[in-house]
């Protein structure tokens, strides 16, 4: 309750609330879903309106769309190899879904859907299922040699195989926790320091001046959060590419 | 992402004469050959191995966070497996104990993969099937 004076309430920003009135309430359509749709619409809009002029000398939006396209395209081909082109649509979609989620969350009053482990783990699970299916499809049962590096002594197989399997299964967990933890930590930090500003400003004349310190820190943190938002989307996409590389090339 | 190539001013819709499956480098090379230009300077192996395989490492704090996440997630997966197998096989708590150890080892293996010096990538021949 905010009524009995300012308290630090850092976690209520992650709560889901139904959106779109009674209809949204009846189908559990939350504000997270609204922002996911917004992210998809923004990405599609950027590509559509960026590609539509099709100018030889690109304008700003077209340059953005082309840079995004070619950046992810080169990431795929650099990391995965020639076969990476098949996975380009997947990696592009994934990158922009995560990026838009992180970036939209930086708007005031916005909701960061990548701060929910349900979302990030669903994405990571999708990646790992795709990687496994691709590896099985290309290499067949030879895929299982992935869990036993050649050259290792046969005697150590009972030790190496479980360790490698756990290591493989921990990929989606670490992938999702990394994104989720970064987003939650950043937003909690912002909320805490923003609460400091309000609480100090309410504490008298000296507090009003002292509250400039956390305010300045927030400015720095906001910039840092933009960096983290971009970097985490990039890390998510590039780790997907690395896992796909492992699946295509196997060792 | 810093793109030096003249990828923007290729004529739209003009059929390049190369098979549609060819990569951009191949098509660019073919186009330059048709125009009588010298081939572009490329890396020895098609620009594939110039960049490292590992993602950007960021600062020390980011690196520490990544190491922590790798350790914890491997351990969490192992504990989940051990817990589940214990409940299934009725061997409480021995498999859990075993898998905690294995999970720690897997975490260290993950971290080693993260910080290990990059292996010299074998020149993979393009896989035939696929």
**So where are chain B's domains?**
60-115
Of B53, B62, B105, nearest to A163 by CB-CB distance is: B105
Cross-strand bridge partners of residue A18: A30
B32 in Cβ contact with A63 (< 8 Å): no
Q: Which two tokens stand for residue A196?
A: 């400091």
Of B12, B69, B81, nearest to A54 by CB-CB distance is: B12
Predicted confidence (pLDDT) per residue in B66-88, tens digit: 888 889 999 999 999 999 999 89
More confident residue, A97 or B20: A97
A142 in Cβ contact with A250 (< 8 Å): yes
Round to whole Å and give the CA distance between B11 and A137: 37
Q: Tell me which chain A residues have a C-beta less than 8 angstroms from the C-beta of B83.
A: none
Q: What is the mean pLDDT of chain A?
A: 87
A214 in Cβ contact with A193 (< 8 Å): yes
- Helices and strands in chain A: count of H runs, count of E runs: 8, 0
A237 in Cβ contact with A73 (< 8 Å): no
Q: If pLDDT is split at 50, 70 and 90, which confidence band does B120 have? A: low
- Give the pLDDT of residue A6: 61
What number is the average pLDDT over the span B90-108? Answer: 90
Q: Among A27-41, A164-178, B42-56, B95-109, whose mean pLDDT is lowest?
A: B42-56
Reply yes or no on whether the pLDDT at A5 is more than 70: no
Round to whole Å and give the CA distance between B23 and A19: 45
Q: Among A135-149, A182-196, B56-70, B93-107, whose mean pLDDT is lowest?
A: B56-70
Predicted confidence (pLDDT) per residue in A48-88, tens digit: 999 888 888 888 899 999 999 999 999 998 888 888 888 99
Q: How far is A220 from chain B (nearest CA, A)?
A: 17
Predicted confidence (pLDDT) per residue in B4-63, tens digit: 444 444 444 444 444 555 677 777 778 888 887 766 554 434 444 334 444 555 567 778
Reply yes or no on whether the pLDDT at A212 is more than 50: yes
3-class SS of residue A73: helix
- Give the pLDDT of residue A218: 92
Q: Tell me which chain A residues have a C-beta less than 8 angstroms from the C-beta of B12.
A: 54, 56
What number is the average pLDDT over the span B111-129? Answer: 62
Instruction: Judge if the upstream peptide bond of residue B93 is cis by omega within 30 degrees of 0.
Output: yes
What number is the average pLDDT over the span B94-111? Answer: 91
Q: What is the ipTM of this complex?
A: 0.74
More confident residue, B90 or A94: A94
Q: Which two tokens stand for residue A87?
A: 């996975």
- Give the pLDDT of residue A93: 94
Q: If pLDDT is split at 50, 70 and 90, which confidence band does A230 have? A: very high
- Give the pLDDT of residue B119: 64
Q: What percent of chain A has pLDDT over 70?
A: 97
Round to whole Å and give the CA distance between A166 and A164: 5
Tell me whether B22 touches chain A (CB under 8 Å): no
Q: If pLDDT is split at 50, 70 and 90, which confidence band does A157 have? A: confident
Q: How far is B116 from chain A (nearest CA, A)?
A: 15
Of B53, B70, B73, nearest to A242 by CB-CB distance is: B53
B121 in Cβ contact with A249 (< 8 Å): no
Burial A150-188 (b: 16+ CB within 10 A, else e): eeeeeeeeeebebbbbbbbbbbbbbbbbbbbbbbbebbb
Q: How many CB pairs under 8 A join A and B?
A: 104
Determine the distance from the C-alpha atom of residue A59 to the mean position of all C-alpha atoms in its chain, rounded to a whole number.
28
Round to whole Å and give the CA distance between A163 and A125: 20
Is A83 within 8 Å of B77 when comparing Cβ atoms?
A: no
Round to whole Å and give the CA distance between A133 and B2: 33
């Amino acid at each position: 309750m905010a009524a009995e004076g300012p308290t630090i309430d850092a976690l209520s920003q992650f709560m889901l609330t139904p959106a779109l009135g009674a209809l949204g309430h009846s189908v559990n359509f939350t504000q997270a879903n609204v922002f996911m749709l917004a992210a998809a619409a923004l990405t599609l809009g950027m590509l559509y309106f960026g590609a539509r002029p099709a100018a030889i000398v690109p304008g700003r939006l077209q340059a953005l769309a082309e840079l995004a396209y070619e950046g992810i395209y080169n990431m795929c081909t650099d990391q995965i190899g020639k076969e990476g082109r098949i996975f380009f649509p997947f990696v592009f979609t994934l990158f922009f879904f995560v990026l838009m989620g992180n970036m939209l969350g930086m708007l005031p009053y916005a909701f960061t859907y990548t701060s929910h482990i349900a979302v990030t783990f669903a994405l990571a699970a999708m990646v790992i299922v795709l990687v496994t299916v691709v590896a099985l499809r290309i290499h067949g049962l030879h895929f299982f040699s992935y869990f036993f590096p050649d050259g290792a002594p046969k005697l150590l197989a009972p030790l190496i195989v479980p360790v490698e399997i756990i290591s493989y299964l921990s990929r989606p967990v670490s992938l999702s926790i990394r994104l989720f933890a970064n987003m939650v930590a950043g937003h909690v930090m912002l909320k805490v320091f923003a609460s400091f500003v309000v609480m100090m400003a309410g504490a008298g004349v000296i507090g009003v001046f002292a509250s400039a310190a956390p305010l300045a820190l927030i400015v720095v943190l906001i910039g840092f959060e933009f960096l983290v938002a971009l970097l985490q989307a990039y890390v998510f996409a590039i780790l997907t590419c690395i896992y796909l590389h492992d699946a295509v090339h196997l060792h | 992402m810093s793109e030096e190539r003249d990828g923007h001013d290729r004529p739209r819709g003009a059929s390049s004469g190369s098979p549609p499956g060819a990569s951009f480098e191949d098509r660019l090379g073919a186009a330059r050959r048709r125009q009588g230009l010298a081939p572009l300077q490329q890396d020895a192996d098609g620009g594939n191995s110039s960049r490292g395989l590992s993602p950007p490492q960021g600062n020390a704090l980011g690196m520490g966070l990544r190491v922590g996440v790798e350790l914890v997630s491997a351990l969490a997966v192992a504990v989940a497996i051990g817990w589940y197998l214990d409940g299934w096989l009725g061997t409480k708590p021995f498999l859990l104990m075993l898998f905690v150890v294995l999970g720690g080892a897997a975490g260290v293996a993950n971290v080693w993969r993260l910080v290990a010096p990059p292996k010299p990538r074998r020149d993979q021949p393009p896989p035939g099937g696929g």
